[in-house]
Amino acid sequence: MTRYILPILAALLASLGAAALAKDVCEDYASRVPGLKAQQCRDAALQDMGVRSVQGRTLWGRDVRADPAPLRVLVLGGIHGDEMSSVATVFRWIGLSQQPGTDARLKAHWRFIPALNPDGLFAKPSRRVNANGVDLNRNFPTPNWERDARKYWEVRTRRDPRRWPGKRPLSEPESRFLNDQLASFRPNLIVSVHAPFGLLDFDGPIAPPSRLGRLYLDQVGIYPGSLGNYGGVFKRVPVVTVELPNAVQPPTDSDMRQMWTDLLQWSADRLLPPLVASHDAEK
């Protein structure tokens, strides 16, 4: 009898421990991110992605998958730790992704990473860079990074410490994790949520969305080491960069819902048909 009871007790204790950990994590996030409630975070059922930040914080994610799911979408928030509205928005989209019938035409495997830079988020005050002082959105291995990234930082930003690209590409555990995600998850689309420019940017080989909610397309160019440059231009994976209008306060619930609806509509129209056609041709 003991040999049957002990595994059950171990599983129960592990479950209780995980629940307690999730509760603590969600209370921490809710206390830091305006507009985010602890219960909303708990409902997201975050999963440990198996990677730690510079200061040892867990990088959390959540997969929501239809069956079948020909389209893979990676959604990122909090690459810059002081853009807290992006974290709240991604949490809201996790909730919307689990609601049935949002867009029956779009069959997707969503992978959400609500806060890629937790050290920056939980710094006091929150800051753009990670714990090593590196701007993660300048740390990706774009072509000629060694030549261009530091020169851009020195000349164009006048050595702005908020935009330091690091000593070498992928020097940070957070940027390495995201690069590994591109290789293992192989997204067909990357959605990166930022703030506070109040616009929609796009990099990639297909026609961009003209708007998401109140945000209209205004392509601002590419930067050495940026995710848009690396993913959209170099790797040719479409990158939608959502620039919310306020870095602290998230959009209204209706605005977040409309952006989500427009994203689904554009993805269903532009991304899904070629994938379905390719899948059918392989049969």
Structure confidence by residue, pLDDT tens digits, 76-90:
999 999 999 999 999
Strand partners, 215: 212
Euclidean distance between CA atoms 133 and 272, whole angstroms = 39
For the domain made up of 43-282, give the CATH fold.
Answer: Aminopeptidase (3.40.630)
User: What residue ranges do the domains of the chain occupy?
Assistant: 43-282
Euclidean distance between CA atoms 240 and 18, whole angstroms = 34
The amino acid present at 89, given as its one-letter code, is T
pLDDT at 192: 98
Across residues 163-180, what is the average pLDDT?
Answer: 98
Residue 248 has pLDDT above 90, yes or no: yes
DSSP 262-281: HHHHHHHHHTHHHHHHHHHH
Q: Give the CA angle between residues 40, 238, 247 to the nearest 5°.
A: 45
- Let me know: does 119 contact 130? Beta carbons within 8 Å: yes
Q: What is the pTM of this model?
A: 0.90
The amino acid present at 174, given as its one-letter code, is E
How remote is the C-alpha of 268 from its chain's centroid?
Answer: 20
Handedness of CA 26, 77, 80, 88 (dihedral sign): negative
Residue whose pair of structure tokens reads 């609601």 in the numeric block: 99
The amino acid present at 202, given as its one-letter code, is F
Reduced to 3 DSSP states, what percent helix, strand and coil does the chain have, rounded to the nearest 5?
A: 45, 15, 40
Euclidean distance between CA atoms 263 and 212, whole angstroms = 6
pLDDT at 4: 44
Euclidean distance between CA atoms 250 and 90, whole angstroms = 10
Euclidean distance between CA atoms 122 and 272, whole angstroms = 37
Provide the strand spans (E) within 141-238.
189-194, 199-203, 211-212, 215-216
Structure confidence by residue, pLDDT tens digits, 149-164:
999 999 999 999 999 9
Structure confidence by residue, pLDDT tens digits, 185-244:
999 999 999 999 999 999 999 999 999 999 999 988 889 999 999 999 999 999 999 999
The larger pLDDT score, comparing residue 106 to residue 282, is at 106
Look over the chain and give the mean of its residue pLDDT values, rounded to a whole number.
Answer: 90
Euclidean distance between CA atoms 159 and 137, whole angstroms = 16
- Three-state secondary structure call for residue 112: strand
Residues with Cβ within 8 Å of residue 75, at least 6 apart in sequence? 90, 93, 110, 111, 112, 113, 190, 191, 193
Instruction: Return the percentage of the chain with pLDDT > 90, whole number.
Output: 81
- Let me know: does 78 contact 114? Beta carbons within 8 Å: yes
Residue whose pair of structure tokens reads 């959105």 in the numeric block: 137
pLDDT at 6: 45
Residue 45 has pLDDT above 80, yes or no: yes
Residue of 156, 104, 133 whose CA lies nearest to 261: 104
Residue 158 backbone class (left: φ over 0; alpha: ψ -120 to 50; beta: rest): left
Residue whose pair of structure tokens reads 């379905």 in the numeric block: 276
